[in-house]
Amino acid sequence: MPGQNSIILNKNVTITFQKPISKEDFVKRIKEFASNFIAFLKADGCYQLGHIKFISTTNGEDYLQLSILDLDQLPKVDGILKKTFEKIKLTLNVIVFGGGRDEIDNKLSQEIRSLENYFDA
């Protein structure tokens, strides 16, 4: 039956911003990123979520993890980032059931670009 297969995606990106950004603003935007992505998954036919993890680090000593384990729950955020930073490494790991792999991969890339554009505006 179509849509029964799991889709596993990983992305590692480093984003360098033109000016320092605050951890509060970054956390707010990464939560919006997650909300947009969840809404997309639901519309794309995802019927079950394994997990979505966003792990962010600015220098390897600090980290922020956003975790989503259910399509109908708010993300959980753990960890500590520096107060301000100009560069951040993101590791995104997604396991879903249903939906289209290419569409999900494209949406992740689109949300990453949106995050970069927001802070560089």
pLDDT digits (tens, 9 = 90+) for 29-75: 999 999 999 999 999 999 999 999 999 999 878 999 999 999 999 89
CATH for the stretch 6-120: 3.30.1220
User: What does the domain layout of the chain look like in residue ranges?
Assistant: 6-120
Rounded mean pLDDT of the chain?
91
Nearest Cα residue to 119 out of 33, 12, 44, 19: 19
Containing 24, the helix (H) or strand (E) segment is: helix 23-43
pLDDT over threshold 80, residue 3: no
pLDDT digits (tens, 9 = 90+) for 99-111: 899 999 999 999 9
